[in-house]
A and B are shown apart, each in its own frame.
Chain A
């Protein structure tokens, strides 16, 4: 089955700097890759997603890139702000597989003011 590895487990950046979180997946049949942000005690919230027919997607300060050949995808946050501090999870699924999302282990991002 699918396995998703996520790095780093913790990331500390200065406000205004960029943050990059990387994930690799094992199943070449996976074709949908969402990213979720989870604040302490709250539900994961979808912040951006990408499908396998696209190499890059951007939404304001957030971007995701996908390299299907290497089976990895990354989240890029530019101009980080203290409110970006949270745990970020990547996930992968096969769209034909009734939305069985396989999550990475999470990255705790701390943005220092």
Chain B
């Protein structure tokens, strides 16, 4: 069964640095998402992306965050200037249409020191 893949599995960065988290959605999917989970807390919606543009974003997704689909296979989340509180697990997800269950990738654990 095809899966959403995310790289790297763990990223350590210093405060103020830029990071790019990468995701390869399932090939025929059209809707893409980023969620995050701070350690021990609930999963939080960040952003949804469809037809090469953001369709919805949360309050968490401020100007420090951006998403991009640079080619036909990758979907990236960029954090421009990381803060300590950005430390979390970031999950990517994709769906073929707006009526399908959401399945997450394995996540990238971001540690900001």
Contacts and interface: CB of A to CB of B under 8 A. Distances in A.
Interface of A: 34, 36, 42-46, 49, 89, 91, 95-106
For the residues of A in contact with B, the DSSP-based class is loop
Interface string B22-58: 0000000001010100000111110010100001101
B106 interface: yes
9 contacts: A46-B101, A89-B43, A95-B98, A98-B48, A98-B56, A99-B31, A99-B33, A99-B95, A106-B41
Interface of B: 31, 33, 35, 41-45, 48, 50, 55-56, 58, 91, 93, 95, 98-99, 101-107
Given A42-B106, A46-B101, A98-B50, A103 B31 contact: no
